[in-house]
A and B are shown apart, each in its own frame.
Chain A
């Protein structure tokens, strides 16, 4: 992953540089420092070590918390010019945009087969990430050729979009770090004990509801169903449903995990799915995506409780 992090870091450095030099930017030094510190995590994170990375995380949070990370003046091209260019380039504009997904798929398939010295060239977990990154570089080249622009235009365009997203783009990273602290502090075990202490364990339906709804609530708190799963399954699912009531484990965990995903639809803690898109679409309400998802998430959770009750005791 190291080379990819260097590319991301280089892009972030360029963004920080342009922000800091922009005299019309209301907070050019603080905002520039924010992107520069983030770049440092990618370029020098491994060399600096976890201590320094933790300190950088605190500095990023302080800058954002003080309201110093704001958007500079966007330099979009005038609407008339964009319309003219859209008419001239037509459907060819879709080419580079669709090249990202298309090339990602082809590269995933190619990287699966690629071996070096009898071993896979890349480990399976990171093949897709590499494929996506390489597809972006390829599509970037196509886009620049099609629009007859230079790499500097790419940096400027990226800067406008990144500043529109702002600190929200870093939130997923910090939430993942918070998850690590929660795990080390045993927060999950504490919550699972609380759940099993308050439900009537003799009722199979109450146990099903506690497991499914507990997965959703836990996921809302932790922001991640994967973090909630081992805790809830070890604390409620296995002892109460499988051992006490004889539930089928395979279907129980499958529907349990998906109940967690219903929680993901409902929480600002799942920032990369719920908060970043709202920023990316430049919505006024940061919780607009959660509001739109809430009816689906809540109804689906109720359906999951029913499905689990019917399926695991079949």
Chain B
């Protein structure tokens, strides 16, 4: 079976009730965050040790009963470890994890739910984490592909999507880079459907 569309089957069973294809599944938030770090080049692969506390927006702390003490972010190198090392605190779940469908941490869960709601888009497009990693990704592209935009785009697709861009995609990105920065292109790539729903 494959994830590719089969028009004949799609017409008969658009909801895939009979499982004629492998269902598309969004990456879990842990995998999304880890992938962003891996692609930006900042992933710290250190194993073991205590949990780390990623930076969270100050605004998120206002809802807690003890905003000054409840969350002291770790050093950035620690924060760049895999998401499995994020401290899970019942009274203060990291907003990025919570928004992107982390399960209820207070009880067992048979499965993760996948939702597609606007606060997730706000987190991934406007949030501090993604925008910071987009900057690192842009630096990486310059380091590894030099100053030629076409080579930067090629490298970006290889790193983020594990495939070369199509001609149409390359053209769209080249046009974008005429007006916007590499960092902004990196930000868009982290938000692509294909990035979180890999083939």
Is the pairing of A and B real?
no
